[in-house]
Structure 1
Amino acid sequence: MRFTDKVCLVTGGTSGIGQAACVRLGAEGGTVIALGRDKKDGAETVRLIKEAGGQAVFMACDLAKPKAIETTVQKVLVKFHRVDVLVCDAAMMTFEPLVKLPLEKWDLLMQVNLRSLAQLTQLCLPHMPRGSAIVAISSVHAHQTTAAVVPYATSKGGLEAFVRGMSRELDFRQTRINAIAPGAVDTPMLWSNPNVKNGNEKIDKATVGKPEELAAAIAFMASAEASFIHGTTLAVDGGRLAQL
């Protein structure tokens, strides 16, 4: 039980990889705070965590709104007093060529995918005890991307640079920070991608990962077993990047 008595805050916790991470952390003894926008989905996540033997609460939070992030972290600290594990999974994508993309969409995506990571790190760090960990969810799109998803790929490249930079500011014995870069994973985000639907991005269903496989990697990177891993990105992609 690697997360017994650990307070685990997970963004994007109501579907896909984030939800699987919540269930895994809870099953390993963690008290999970799942963040998301939809209360119904949040209730389902809490049910799954409790069914797996964990403890959980859902808190509604729109990561596009900095004030909402600040308020939510304050609620977490009032209730739990600390954050042992921070998993930043929530993300959005756009599917337009850059020349056709309204810059308001660029700004919104960067707010959700990148600025929220910086804000959550800034707010949580003073309340993260020795042995704590931050795991940020990147993407193979930071390294190998397709047309019409430039903002998403840019945000994930920035996320990995953030992780590397923050590792120089943190004592890894106090708080570690790392990233996970998933490949194609069986989530709503993958199958709703227009590039996948129209065949511009080829997906071999035989090599698509499961959310639970990503959750296992997240749990490892957040655990004391990874105590000497700091400032790096772990690709969990079924070998996709190895084919470059």
Structure 2
Amino acid sequence: MPQDPLNRYPRPPFAKQKQSMPGATDQMDPRPDHGEKTYRGNGRLEGCATIVTGADSGIGRAVAIAFAREGADVAISYYSEHEEAKETARLVEEAGRKALVIAGDLKKQEECNALVERTIEEFGKLDVLVNNAAHQASFAKFEDISAEEWDVTFRTNIYSMFYLCQAAVPRMKPGSSIVNSSSVNATDPSASLLAYATTKGAIANFTNGLAEMIAERGIRVNAVAPGPIWTPFIPSTLGEDHVANFGANTPLGRPGQPAELAATYVLLACDESSYTTGALYEVTGGKSMI
């Protein structure tokens, strides 16, 4: 039965709330929906071996749940949010699939290489790589963005994607796919998120270029551009007033939930989209990227 997208999930204003980075799912009000009770799989990734970075919470957790319920084993890559990652693993295993939990600093090439190697050792192959790990911080003044902050943002959001693709592509077979997380900020940057927004534009460009470069190998590369999504990023990186009204400026009048993106990642990873590569799929609540 179709549901009204305007009222399917909570609408702002929300309670004012602030967390320290990187934020915790259980402390959010309302709690994000990752599809724990709603996502129904149809075997579209049956037997696939997958990596999802940033899979401890938010979009990454929703993708991991969806992939598992579609029949995939999932390597859950995360930085240091151990309890959050354990919960994602529990949900993957609850779906009857293998969960490989791997903590690591993807800013470092050797840790990206190790992630790919451990996944292949455990699962025997790698069919889908989802580059979703990200760092963001907000700044009111341009002068307040330090060189260190700029470097951390680019190394987390851009370098890790490059390192992981370089490690994965030679090991992937025709029919494999890569899905990158870009953002509405790629073309409509929030001024306070300058470093983050700049990387998201680069991710969109990288996706298109890599797709063309490796098309002859039968490996597809696409990206998803989320709009405002209700994840721990929000109360841990934005001001309380911004959090209280988060997503209100979209045509749908609310933020998206991680669960509302999962099906797009599944589509881009599975054979139903075999003629789709180099694409940027917008999931923005109607917020224009033009």
Q: Same fold (TM over 0.5)?
A: yes
Q: What TM-score, normalized by structure 1, do the two folds share?
A: 0.93
For residue 67 of structure 1, report the CA deviation from its aligned partner.
Answer: 2.0
Report the CA distance shift for 1:200/1:186 in structure 2 as closer, same or farther (over 3 A): closer
For residue 198 of structure 1, report the CA deviation from its aligned partner.
Answer: 4.2
Separation in 2, partners of 1:4, 1:121: 23
Q: Partner of 2:77 in structure 1?
A: 35
Letter in 2 for 1:82: K
Q: Is the 8 A contact 1:177 1:231 kept in 2?
A: yes
1:14 pairs with 56, 61, 68, which one? 56
SS of structure 1 residue aligned to 2:221: strand
2:215 pairs with 166, 171, 175, which one? 171
Q: Is the 8 A contact 1:4 1:30 kept in 2?
A: yes
1:57 pairs with 81, 97, 100, which one? 100
Establish whether residue 241 from structure 1 lines up as the match of residue 288 from structure 2: yes
1:213 pairs with 260, 276, 280, which one? 260
Separation in 2, partners of 1:131, 1:174: 6
Structure 1 window deviating more from structure 2 (133-142 vs 64-73): it is 64-73
SS of structure 2 residue aligned to 1:107: helix
Report the CA distance shift for 1:170/1:182 in structure 2 as closer, same or farther (over 3 A): same
Report the CA distance shift for 1:199/1:210 in structure 2 as closer, same or farther (over 3 A): closer
Establish whether residue 108 from structure 1 lines up as the match of residue 155 from structure 2: no
For residue 188 of structure 1, report the CA deviation from its aligned partner.
Answer: 1.0
Separation in 1, partners of 2:63, 2:246: 26
Q: State the percentage of identical aligned residues.
A: 33
Establish whether residue 132 from structure 1 lines up as the match of residue 179 from structure 2: no
Q: Is the 8 A contact 2:228 2:246 kept in 1?
A: no
Unaligned runs of 5+ in 1: none
1:83 pairs with 118, 126, 148, which one? 126
Separation in 2, partners of 1:114, 1:202: 26
Q: What are the Cα deviations for residues 76-128 of structure 1, in whole angstroms up to 9, with x where unaligned?
A: 22222321000011101121233221101101110000111011000000111
Q: What's the Cα RMSD here?
A: 2.0
The number of residue pairs the alignment matches comes to: 243
Greater fraction of residues in helix = 1
Separation in 1, partners of 2:88, 2:275: 31
Structure 1 window deviating more from structure 2 (193-202 vs 134-143): it is 193-202
Letter in 2 for 1:208: P
Report the CA distance shift for 1:25/1:199 in structure 2 as closer, same or farther (over 3 A): closer
Letter in 2 for 1:93: Q
Q: What are the Cα deviations for residues 204-233 of structure 1, in whole angstroms up to 9, with x where unaligned?
A: 184211111111111111111111111010
Q: Partner of 1:222 in structure 2?
A: 269
Letter in 2 for 1:105: E
2:231 pairs with 187, 202, 220, which one? 187
Letter in 1 for 2:282: A
Is the radius of gyration larger for structure 1 or structure 2?
2
Separation in 2, partners of 1:196, 1:83: 41
Separation in 2, partners of 1:28, 1:172: 27
SS of structure 1 residue aligned to 2:191: coil
SS of structure 2 residue aligned to 1:170: helix
Establish whether residue 24 from structure 1 lines up as the match of residue 66 from structure 2: yes
Report the CA distance shift for 1:91/1:153 in structure 2 as closer, same or farther (over 3 A): same
For residue 234 of structure 1, report the CA deviation from its aligned partner.
Answer: 0.4
1:196-211 superposed matches below 5 A: 197-198=241-242, 203-204=247-248, 206-211=253-258
Letter in 1 for 2:271: A
SS of structure 2 residue aligned to 1:207: coil
Letter in 1 for 2:167: L
